[in-house]
Each structure stands twice: as structure tokens, then as C-alpha cells.
Copies of this chain bind each other. A is one copy, B any other.
């Protein structure tokens, strides 16, 4: 491959394997699989999902929904609180595809009631402990929202949805699986409260760490992990994946070497990798692992090598002397990103899907 500038390299074999693993787990559990496409945001990667029989997807914005609708996806959940200024786009999209959106206030439902003229699926966002968005399960607003939905012919109450983002600050697999079980209990209790009145409601749950670590997704009607398609260094550190499951590496040209301080400078900065990092003691920040590209992909991370800082276009790699002396300006080196969703977003228009 001829790399001139920082480029996202996607290993199709790893993507396919990550996808197959999740698909097989989903099939064992008879759960609907509605993967989150915000990680890759790519019609080309979407095709790999389609080949696995996946027809319904999750996105995080109206513009992302429009993009995938234009590529033939026609069952889409926008897993983000309704953005009222885009209500006309939502209405238009609902006329073209099966669209679900998220609400968490009566106010929003009242606004939707006045503007929506096509059938639209509505999930109520439930806060199962992450405390970013959603209603807590005993919020009296819940009943009022459901009452409003029940009286509107285009707004179809679809069920309860949560994102257990607090797994990212949990300590270890047991705590992560406990969060998943707690979320399942909370969502199922809500479902039981309303199932007689609304026999078709479901519960939908999403996050990559718990969906990756569990052996059993039974008890959820639908799951929506996204990051698992690529994984990343953060997921590896949490224990969601093995290092060899990480399916993307950012190819970066080396532009300078400073052996006196064990550093390489790469063309590859915050505008390519994002400023996401993993913090450790004593102000140490990890912005990515470093790999060598090989004939058929890339190596394991070079021991002792890591991206230690990023500015707008520059990355600084710390590397043991014996490895550092192998590199000269113009060589291409790989960085495994901390957060694949952000790196893939930044490099959306500059990627290579490598088929082995």
C-alpha cells in the first residue's frame, strides 16, 4: 500500500471475525441485533453487515440516518434524544424508512405530536445508571409520556431503551456484567408493567464491553453494540477484546527521529486520532499503541512503544532505542487508536479496507 498521509487501515478479516462472533452470540440468544453504525459510519463496512443478514441498524444522528437510508438501509433507530430543530428531516425520513427515535420528556412528545405526519417508532430512553440521558425507572414522567404516545396515531410506542455507558468506568468483568444484569432487570420490570397495554413493546440495550464479555444475551429483546466491529485500545484495556481483535490501525508517516530522547515524530495528530487517551499514574497518558505493518496486516504492538502526546498534526512516539533505530523519515508506522469511533470519524474520507 502507498500511504502519503495519515490513513485509516481497516483489516476486513478482523472485521468479519468480530462481526461473526457477535452474530453467533446473538443467534444463540434469539435477540434482535441492531448494531450501532456510529463507529464506522461507512456504507462499505455496512455491506459486510448486510452479508451477515443484518437489516436493522442504530445511528447517533439524523444526518447519519439519512446517509444510511440513501444506501438502502430501511430500519433505523436514532439512539440520541430527539433533536427538535431537525424535526422536518425526521418526518421526511419517517416517510421513507422504518424509523425509531428516543424521547425522555413530555415536552418533546408534545412537539412531535404537532409535527409528525408519518408513522414513527418511539423508544423511551431509560437511565439504568450511566446518568447521561434518560429517565430513571420510577420517574412519574414515564406514565405521562406513554399516555401521550397512546393518543397519537403516528407515534408508536416501541418500548424501553438504555445505554449502559457506565461500564466504561467499571472495574473488571464482574462489575461490567453486574451492570448488564441490573440494566436487564430494570428494563424487564418496566416492560412487565406495560406489556398488557402494549403487547409489542421490547427492551433494547447497548454497549460493547458487556455485550462482548457476556456469553448470554438472553433476556434482552434487542442489543445495539457498535464499537465491537473495530474494537480499540480502550476496549482492550477493559478486557472486551484481545489485542489482535483490534481491526483498525492508523498508518502514519514518520517525519523525524530524536534518538537522544527515544522519540519518533509522526504525521498523525489530534485531527487524525482524536485527543482521547488512557490515563495512568503520574500524569502518564497513552494516546495509542504502535505496530509495524506487515505483508498481511500488522504486528503485535512493539513492546515499550506508545504514542505519548498529540498536537494538531504531530504525534510523538516513545520507543526503545533498538526499535527506534529501524525507522527513518518517510517510513510508515501504525497506531492502534484509543477510541476507534473518534479516529474513524476523523478519517472517514481517508481509509483503506484491506482484504487479505
Q: Which residues of A contact B (CB under 8 A)?
A: 2-5, 38, 60-63, 80-86, 89, 104-105, 107-108, 111, 131-133, 165, 253, 255-258, 261, 265, 267, 270-271, 274-276, 309, 311-314, 316, 328-330, 332, 341-342, 345
Contact = CB atoms under 8 A, between A and B. Distances in A.
B256 A342 contact: no
6 contacts: A3-B85, A5-B62, A5-B85, A81-B329, A111-B329, A275-B276
A267 B80 contact: yes
Contacts of A165: 311
A2 B63 CA distance: 17
A265 B163 CA distance: 15
A270 B277 CA distance: 13
Given A63-B5, A111-B330, A313-B60, A81 B255 contact: yes
A3 B85 CA distance: 7
Contacts of A89: 4
A60 B107 contact: no
A83 B253 contact: yes
B270 A274 contact: yes
A165 B3 CA distance: 28
Specify which of A60, A165, A267 lies most central, judged by the most chain B CB atoms within 10 Å of its CB.
A267
Contacts of A83: 4-5, 253, 255, 267, 330
B253 A4 contact: no
Given A257-B105, A341-B312, A265 B5 contact: no
Contacts of A312: 38, 60, 341-342, 345
A313 B38 contact: yes
Given A83-B267, A104-B256, A329-B105, A314 B133 contact: yes
A133 B254 CA distance: 12
Contacts of A60: 312-313
Nearest to A80: B313
A83 to B, nearest CB: 5
Contacts of A329: 81-82, 84, 105, 107-108, 111
A257 B342 CA distance: 25
Contacts of A265: 81, 132-133
Given A85-B332, A105-B257, A133-B258, 20 more contacts: A2-B85, A4-B86, A38-B313, A80-B267, A80-B313, A81-B255, A81-B256, A83-B253, A83-B255, A83-B267, A84-B255, A84-B329, A132-B311, A133-B256, A133-B265, A165-B311, A270-B274, A270-B342, A271-B342, A312-B341
